C-alpha cells in the first residue's frame, strides 16, 4: 500500500527515471527531471560556480550497496567498429578512475566508515558480433544473460560484478520511450534469470559512444573533446550508481523502495543531480572534467558525483568526506 509521506513521494518521483544519464536541455531530461524554482543564496560547492542544493541530498533506503566490486567492459560491434586506441583509453581510464583514492574519498561517505572501497577490472571483451543499429533494455538483458550462459564472460561473483556494455559509434541506445538521440547517455540495471536450475541476478550498464553525428545531431552526451572521454564519464556515472544503488531497477519494477533502494535523492542517484544542475546553469564542463589521477601522472575524464557533504557535485579531494547521515 502506498504511504503518502513526503519522503516516499520524493523518492518515487526520482526512482521512476534516475538510473539513466540524460543530456541537459534534451527531451529525455525534460521528461525526467524537475528543478527547484527557488533562488540560490550560497556560493559555490566544490564544482566551481555551481550552488549547493541540500534538497538533493541522497537518502539511504536500506538496499544493496557494493563496496568491493568488479567490472567487465564489453565492447560491442567487434574490432572493426572501434579504434583500438579508443578501447585501450576507455578501459585504462575507467579503471584508474574507479580505483582513484581522491575520487573515492567522495564516494566513501556513502559507506560505513572503515570500509575499504575496491574495484577490480576484469579483462575486457571485444564482442565479435554485428554492430547493433540500436539497443533497447530487453536487448541489453538478453545479451548479458547469453554471454553468461555461453561462457563468454565468467559467471562467478555475479552479485558484486557489473557488466558494462559499451556501444560502438552510431549505435542508438533505447529505454522505454527514450533514446540516445533524444539525450540518453546510459543506464544501469539488473536481470534475473535461471542457470543450471538456480536463479541468478546479473548487473549491467549500457553506455553510449557519445558524439555529434555527421548530420549535426547529437547521440548521447558529447561533453568532452573526444568521444572516448565521454564514454569514460558515462561509465564512471553508471558504475558508481551500481556501487551505491545496485537494485534500483527492482525498486522501480516492484514499487518497493524500503530495503531495495540504496542511496537516492529527490533528483536521483549519485550521478544524476550534478549533470542536471550543471546543464541547467549552462556549465556542463564544470562536472565533466579531466582530473589528475591520485598517482599523479595521468589525467582521467570523469563526471563528478553528488556529495551530501557539500550538497552538490564534488571533484577529487585529499581527505574523505564525513560519513553521510543514514
Ligand atoms: Zn544516473
Sketch the domain layout of the chain as residue ranges. 6-314
Number of neighbouring beta carbons within 10 Å of residue 258: 12
Dist. CA 240 → ligand 1 center (Å): 9
For residue 46, the model assigns a pLDDT of 55
pLDDT score of 130 more than 80:
yes
CA–centroid distance, residue 164 to ligand 1 (Å):
14
Tell me the mean pLDDT in the region 146-159.
Answer: 97
Measured in Å, residue 265 CA sits from the centre of ligand 1 at 11
Ligand 1 centroid, distance to 297 Cα (angstroms): 29
Q: Name the residue among 158, 134, 136, 175 with its Cα closest to residue 242.
A: 158
- pLDDT tens digits, one per residue of 235-249: 999 999 999 999 999
How confident is the model over 54-76, as a mean pLDDT?
A: 97
| Residue 113 pLDDT exceeds 80 | yes
Distance 262 CA to ligand 1 centre (A): 13
What rounded mean pLDDT belongs to the chain?
Answer: 89
The mean per-residue pLDDT over the stretch 69-95 comes to: 98
Average pLDDT for residues 39-50, to the nearest whole number? 51
The proportion of the chain whose per-residue pLDDT surpasses 70, expressed as a percent, equals 89
Q: Report the pLDDT averaged over residues 144-173.
A: 98
Q: Distance, CA 198 to ligand 1 centroid (Å)? A: 30
- Separation of 44 CA from ligand 1 center, angstroms? 22
Q: Would you state the pLDDT for residue 9?
A: 35
C-alpha cell at 291: 582530473
Q: What is the pLDDT of residues 278-309, one digit of tens each?
A: 988 888 999 999 999 998 889 999 999 999 99
Q: Which three cell numbers stand for residue 287?
A: 562536472
**Cα(20) to centroid of ligand 1, in Å?**
5
Comparing 127 with 14, the larger pLDDT belongs to 127
The per-residue pLDDT for range 165-224, each reduced to its tens digit, is: 999 999 999 999 999 999 999 999 999 999 889 999 999 999 999 999 999 999 999 999
pLDDT at 19 over 70: yes
Q: How far is the CA of 264 from the centre of ligand 1 (A)?
A: 10
Ligand 1 centroid distance, CA of 76 (Å): 22
CA of 232 to the centre of ligand 1 (A): 14
Confidence (pLDDT) at 32: 59
Choose among 28, 6, 27, 34: nearest CA to 268: 34
Q: Tell me the CA–centroid distance for residue 301 and ligand 1, in Å.
A: 17
Confidence band, pLDDT 50/70/90 cuts, at residue 28: confident
pLDDT band at 2 (very low <50, low <70, confident <90, very high): very low
Give the pLDDT score at 40: 38
How far is ligand 1, taken at its centre, from the CA of residue 81, in Å? 26
Q: What is the pLDDT of residue 48?
A: 74
The rounded Å distance from CA 29 to ligand 1 centre is 12
Centroid of ligand 1 to alpha carbon of 241 (angstroms): 6
User: Measured in angstroms, how far is the CA atom of residue 136 from the centroid of ligand 1?
Assistant: 17
Ligand 1 center to 212 CA (angstroms): 21
- Is residue 228's pLDDT more than 80? yes
Distance 245 CA to ligand 1 centre (A): 10
pLDDT, one tens digit per residue, over 212-225 is 999 999 999 999 99
Of 134, 154, 133, nearest to 144 (Cα)?
A: 154
Contact 29, 278 (CB under 8 A): no
Q: How far is the CA of 51 from the centre of ligand 1 (A)?
A: 20
Confidence of residue 10 (pLDDT cuts 50, 70, 90): very low
Cα-to-centroid distance, 196 and ligand 1 (Å): 33
Spacing, Cα 42 to ligand 1 middle (Å)? 25
* pLDDT at residue number 47: 72
Instruction: Kindly report which listed range (36-50, 90-104, 132-146, 213-227) carries the lowest average pLDDT score.
Output: 36-50
CA–CA separation, 283 vs 286, rounded Å? 6
Cβ-based neighbours of 151, under 8 Å, separated by 6 or more: none
Tell me what pLDDT residue 11 has. 40
Burial profile 22-38: b = 16 or more Cβ within 10 angstroms, e = fewer: bbbebbbbeebbeeeee
Amino acid at each position: 500500500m502506498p504511504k503518502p509521506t513526503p519522503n516516499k513521494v520524493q523518492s518515487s518521483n526520482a526512482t521512476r527515471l534516475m538510473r539513466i544519464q540524460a543530456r541537459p536541455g534534451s527531451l529525455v531530461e525534460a521528461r525526467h527531471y524537475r528543478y527547484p524554482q527557488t533562488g540560490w543564496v550560497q556560493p559555490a560547492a566544490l564544482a566551481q560556480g555551481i550552488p549547493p542544493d541540500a534538497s538533493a541530498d541522497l537518502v539511504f533506503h536500506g538496499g544493496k550497496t557494493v563496496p568491493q566490486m568488479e567490472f567487465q567492459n564489453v565492447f560491442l560491434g567487434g574490432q572493426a567498429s572501434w579504434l583500438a586506441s579508443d578501447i585501450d583509453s576507455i578501459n585504462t581510464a575507467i579503471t584508474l578512475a574507479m580505483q582513484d583514492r581522491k575520487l573515492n574519498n567522495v564516494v566513501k561517505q556513502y559507506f560505513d566508515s572503515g570500509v575499504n572501497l575496491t574495484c577490480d577490472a576484469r579483462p575486457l571483451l571485444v564482442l565479435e558480433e554485428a554492430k547493433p543499429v540500436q539497443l533497447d533494455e530487453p536487448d541489453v538483458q538478453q545479451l548479458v544473460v547469453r554471454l553468461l550462459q555461453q561462457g563468454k564472460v565468467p559467471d562467478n561473483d555475479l552479485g558484486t560484478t557489473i557488466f558494462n556494455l559499451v556501444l560502438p559509434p552510431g549505435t542508438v541506445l533505447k529505454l522505454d520511450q527514450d533514446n540516445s538521440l533524444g539525450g540518453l547517455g546510459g543506464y544501469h540495471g539488473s536481470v534475473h534469470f535461471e542457470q543450471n536450475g538456480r536463479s541468478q541476478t546479473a548487473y549491467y550498464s549500457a553506455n553510449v559512444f557519445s558524439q555529434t553525428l555527421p548530420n549535426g545531431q547529437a547521440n548521447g552526451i558529447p561533453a568532452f573533446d573526444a568521444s572516448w572521454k565521454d564514454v569514460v564519464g558515462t561509465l564512471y556515472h553508471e558504475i558508481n550508481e551500481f556501487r551505491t544503488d545496485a537494485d534500483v531497477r527492482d525498486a522501480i519494477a516492484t514499487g518497493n523502495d524500503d530495503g531495495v533502494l540504496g542511496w537516492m535523492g529527490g533528483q536521483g542517484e549519485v550521478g544524476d543531480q550534478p549533470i542536471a544542475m550543471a546543464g541547467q546553469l549552462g556549465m556542463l564542463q564544470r562536472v565533466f572534467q579531466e582530473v589528475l589521477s591520485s598517482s599523479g601522472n595521468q589525467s582521467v575524464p570523469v563526471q563528478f558525483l553528488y556529495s551530501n557533504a557539500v550538497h552538490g557535485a564534488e571533484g577529487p579531494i585529499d581527505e574523505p568526506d564525513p560519513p553521510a547521515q543514514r
